[in-house]
Amino acid sequence: MNLKASQREAVGNGPSRVLRRDGKIPAILYGPKTESIKLAIDRLELEPIIKSGAVAQTLLKLKIEGVDSVRKVMIKEMQKHPVSRSVLHLDLYEVSMDQKIKVMVPVVTTGKSAGVEVGGMLQLIRRELEVFCLPDQIPENITIDITVLEIGDSFHVEDLPLEGAVEIPADTNFTILTILSPTAEEEEEVEGEEEEGEEEGEEGAEAAEEPAAE
């Protein structure tokens, strides 16, 4: 995707508020071989990127007004207003196309588990995975086929069929998802109800032990 920006000089909360009132978002560009540049980006420029739903995985072609070269960047951080969720500030990271980077990629499943078919429940433990790859090889998602998984089966990071030069920089073979048995789910619910009952009983006993007010 393409992204246009202009350079800005003023910094601080006051100038940033003025930019936002004018429909622009303050941003900063940096990288391992890039001197920091303060930018302003039209809010409309960001809309198609945000609507794509893959903000952290999208490689952008940044064109800065008055600069001939086009830079390859990624959105490193997007600060949003806690209530309105409007974008307040962007951190853009310039990447080198021949140098691998780490990026978080969402996990999606395909198929219906054999265990789920007989009453089990899919528990997705990791909704995102950190991958290590070249900027132009970032996968849109990590897809796991769960069709053959029975109740009690788990899928671990070492089970992933990775393509190309994509790596998972994990120190341990952690679990990504598992198929729970209906019994395990019922036991968790019963334990929760028993704990609530015990707490209510303790509160009632404490109330009975308190002396009546004179």
pLDDT digits (tens, 9 = 90+) for 10-26: 777 888 888 999 999 99
Question: 38 pLDDT exceeds 60?
Answer: yes
Segment 155-165 shows an average pLDDT of: 88
Question: 202 pLDDT exceeds 50?
Answer: yes
Decide if 191 is inside a domain: no
Decide if 214 is inside a domain: no
The pair of three-digit structure tokens given for residue 23, joined into one six-digit string? 């429909």
28/76 same-domain check: yes
According to the model, what pLDDT value does residue 189 have? 55
SS3 81: coil
Q: 14: Cβ–Cβ under 8 A, 6 or more apart, which residues?
A: none
Range of the domain at 38: 2-94
What's the N-to-C CA distance of the chain in angstroms? 76
Segment 52-77 shows an average pLDDT of: 88
According to the model, what pLDDT value does residue 208 have? 45
120/154 same-domain check: yes
Segment 55-64 shows an average pLDDT of: 89
Q: What is the CATH number of the domain that holds 126?
A: 2.170.120.20
Across the beta sheet with 142-145, the strand order is 128-133, 101-110, 142-145
Q: What is the CATH number of the domain that holds 90?
A: 2.40.240.10
Decide if 44 is inside a domain: yes
Torsions phi, psi for 205 (to 5 deg): -65, -40
DSSP state of 95: -
According to the model, what pLDDT value does residue 117 have? 94
Tens of pLDDT along 66-115? 888 899 999 999 999 999 888 999 999 999 999 999 999 999 999 999 99
Segment 151-179 shows an average pLDDT of: 90
Question: 184 pLDDT exceeds 80?
Answer: no
Summary mean pLDDT of the chain: 85
Is residue 105 within 8 A of residue 83, CB to CB? The reply is: no
Name the pLDDT band for 182 (thresholds 50, 70, 90). confident
Decide if 201 is inside a domain: no
Question: 9 pLDDT exceeds 90?
Answer: no
Question: 176 pLDDT exceeds 50?
Answer: yes
Among the three residues 94, 110, 141, which one is the final residue of a domain in this structure?
A: 94
pTM of the model: 0.70
The pair of three-digit structure tokens given for residue 78, joined into one six-digit string? 């997007």
33/58 same-domain check: yes
66/105 same-domain check: no
